[in-house]
Amino acid sequence: MSSPTPDHIRIFVAGFVNQRLKERARDPINNLPDDYDLLLSGSLDSLTFVEMLTALGEHFDWEVNFEDLDPEKFTVIGPLCAFVSEQLRERLALTK
Amino acid sequence: MRSAEQFSEHVAVIVEGRSLYYWQLREIALRIAATIQNHVVHQKHLGPALVAVFAHRSATAFASVLGSLLAGAGYVPLNRTFPVTRTRLMFERSRCHTIIVDRESLPQLNALLDGEERQLLVIAPDLKGAQWYRRQWPRHVFISAGELESSAAWCEPIENPHAIAYLLFTSGSTGIPKGVMVAHRNVTSFVNYMIDRLQVTERDVVSQMFDLTFDLSAFDMFVAWERGACLCCPSKKASINPGKFIQEQKLTIWFSVPSTVTLMKQLGLLKPDRFPSLRLSLFCGEPLPIGCAELWSKAAPNSVLENLYGPTELTIACTGYRWHSQGSVEESEAEIVPIGYAFPGMNVLVVDESLHEVEPGEQGELLMNGPQMSLGYWQDTERTSSAFVVPPGRAEIFYRTGDRVRRPVGDGPLTHLGRMDFQVKILGHRVELGEVEAVVRQASGMDGVVAVGWPVSASGYGGIEVFIEGGAVDVDRCQDLIASRLPDYMVPRRWHVMSRLPRNANGKFDRDAMLTMLGGGR
């Protein structure tokens, strides 16, 4: 089994964000560039952001360690997807 | 103002990643105050009685609150994170003639001014030039950054302890917000007691978690500034991880709603000894589960933990309870930390439906009065007279909190048992939703629990459904456990386990939103 790539993560995040935007009757976003900031763009607020991470954790069976979370980086799509993907890959390597 | 002179080289507030010294905050506040005063005097403008502050988590927000007060006016906070229709309703109801707008609230200004018939003074301290607005809205007067009066033009207003310090809109059950008029003497009484009780000093770093539209923000500002402490406002990003925020800013005083603790617990941020810098942790705004208090005490080992209680109508907080690792669990009821003892000068009366005092040990509605009792509701004598009442056999007005408490026996603390209106009829039985929540909390080990009556029936509700915040809950096991402890009609019919429960603008659990999810709601 191979671990999810950053693009897998991105697709999931985009789905989550668009669902939230739809609930607030706002237009969906078609693509999420690497430098897209989920929080500062107003797509998510701090609570829905945490919710998104929890959902991400549940979906990919990833144990989110919020304590190490650097808010400055974590809300930007590129670093977020890379980080999550990297963590999942490491864990898969360990369990092998 | 005294603090601004005494502590002028200290940091008054950290906001938007920028430190503002007391002298800087004072300077901007005085310029705003002088601008309001100048306009009132020279333009024969109406009132300065109330000034709307349309600003949120910015230097301008804090300076505007102070500026309004220094001009001798009360402030009316407006919040750009609210739907603009609600903001408009509040603004119209307040009848303010002056509004101060910060940079990030400016985009909503047009929607607020559209169709506005009053002649307004609009102060925009973050705006470079106001030409566009002047052309767009010739009826109103606009003052941009460069057009503020100099601070030297400010004249000290005549103090009137009975005048409104702030007008705060709270949600009314009818859907129309009620404006609570809090007087200077109410706030002074609260602040003077708190700085003494908490021994606040200029070395303290105080969290600023509350929006201005939530009255607990008045504690943050006025308690911190009265003693020269530093107020610390998390950026949008920092608010994702409150644990990191406490550590990085080396906060000494933490003040939030208990829901924040529930969330932090869920995120695994409450590990032992994580927050050694805290010397004081305060919670207010909703019931504090004992599980949260225990976990927080371990995470902040050097901190005194206090549970505060107070409706907006009784000015920020009017009772308090200091948590002790020994004895407090026994003093708690329904898994909730007691609300404790009334602040000095505040009187407590626990009454039955006919407003007669109940016996010690019995439960009833909490009524209070004293120096923190506010002036009532803005231009709403009807609702004021139904909430501010003279109970039979008494000579004084008391405020009906709508909260259900147990009258202490001897010198025990007051315990909060829920809202009066959370008492529902299920199939003819009177049920306290708080009791169901307490049992579910125990059975599931989760703190974020909300029980609602559902569906609506002719005599009340058909049953109870419960919402739980958390991940893994063994619903079947809990259901069995609860069925062995509660009568059938009180056992929740359906369980909704969610990673996060809906919260309202103030961060409290939003029952209406949960009812809406079930297909109902008000």
A41 touches chain B (CB under 8 A): no
Structure tokens at A42: 């107003």
Please give the pLDDT value at position B42.
53
Please give the pLDDT value at position B249.
96
* Chain B neighbors of A54, CB-CB under 8 A: 471, 499-500
Cis-peptide into B138, omega within 30 deg: no
Structure tokens at A4: 């999810």
Task: Give the Cα separation of B405 and B172 in Å (integer).
Answer: 22
Task: Give the Cα separation of B145 and B125 in Å (integer).
Answer: 4
Task: Give the Cα separation of B194 and B371 in Å (integer).
Answer: 14
CB contact under 8 A, B240 and A49: yes
List A residues 47-66 in contact with B (Cβ-Cβ < 8 A): 47, 49-51, 54-55, 58, 64-66
* Chain A neighbors of B499, CB-CB under 8 A: 51, 54-55, 58
| pLDDT tens readout for residues B415-472 | 998 888 787 888 777 788 888 898 898 889 888 999 999 888 766 788 899 999 987 7
* Chain B neighbors of A71, CB-CB under 8 A: 237-238, 240-241, 244
* Chain A neighbors of B243, CB-CB under 8 A: 66-67
* Chain B neighbors of A47, CB-CB under 8 A: 263, 500, 503
A19 touches chain B (CB under 8 A): no
Q: Could you say which DSSP state residue B148 is in?
A: S
Residue B481: which of B428, B440, B512 has the closest Cα?
Answer: B440
Query: Given CA atoms B228, B70, B164, B378 in this order, what sign does their dihedral have?
Result: negative
Please give the pLDDT value at position B460.
74
Residue B300: which of B279, B282, B325, B321 has the closest Cα?
Answer: B279
Residues of chain B with confidence (pLDDT) below 70: 1-2, 41-48, 171-176, 458-459, 520-522
Q: Please count the residues of chain B.
A: 522
End-to-end CA distance of chain A: 10
CB contact under 8 A, A66 and B268: yes
Please give the pLDDT value at position A71.
73
Contact B44, B168 (CB under 8 A): no
Q: In a mutagenesis test of the B interface, which of A46, A48, A56 is the best target, namely the one with the most B β-carbons within 10 Å?
A: A46
CB contact under 8 A, B267 and A58: no
CB-CB: which of B271, B471, B500 is closest to A47? B500
Residues 6+ apart with CB under 8 A from B80: B54, B56, B87, B104, B105, B108
Task: Give the Cα separation of B239 and A48 in Å (integer).
Answer: 12
Task: Give the Cα separation of B248 and B234 in Å (integer).
Answer: 11
**β-strand B50-54 against B98-101: which pairing, if any?**
parallel
Instruction: Strand B11-15: give its sheet, edge to edge.
Output: B18-21, B11-15, B230-232, B205-207, B253-256, B280-283, B304-309, B319-322, B341-342
Total-model pTM: 0.85
| pLDDT tens readout for residues A10-34 | 999 999 998 888 776 677 888 888 8
Residue B53: which of B94, B21, B20 has the closest Cα?
Answer: B94
Question: Any long-range contacts for B340-344 (C-beta under 8 Å, 24+ apart)?
Answer: B340/B307, B340/B309, B340/B413, B340/B414, B341/B413, B341/B414, B342/B318, B342/B368, B342/B370, B342/B414, B343/B190, B343/B193, B343/B317, B343/B318, B343/B319, B343/B370, B343/B372, B344/B193
CA distance A70 to chain B (A): 8
CB contact under 8 A, A65 and B244: no
B142 bridge partner residues: B122
Contact B222, B187 (CB under 8 A): yes
Query: Given CA atoms B334, B340, B345, B349 in this order, what sign does their dihedral have?
Result: positive
Please give the pLDDT value at position B221.
97
CA distance A68 to chain B (A): 9
CA distance A2 to chain B (A): 26
B21 bridge partner residues: B11
A68 touches chain B (CB under 8 A): no
Q: Buried (b) or exposed (e) across B302-334, using 16+ Cβ within 10 A?
A: ebbbbbbbbbbbbbbbbbbbebeeeebeebbbb
Contact B94, B185 (CB under 8 A): no
CA distance A50 to chain B (A): 7
| pLDDT tens readout for residues A33-92 | 889 998 888 888 877 888 888 888 888 887 777 777 777 778 899 988 888 888 888 877
CB-CB: which of B238, B240, B243 is closest to A50? B240
DSSP letters, B18-58, are EEEEHHHHHHHHHHHHHHHHHHHHHS--S-SSEEEEE--SS
List B residues 248-287 in contact with A (Cβ-Cβ < 8 A): 263, 267-269, 271
Task: Give the Cα separation of B139 and B118 in Å (integer).
Answer: 9
Residue B39: which of B172, B182, B141 has the closest Cα?
Answer: B141
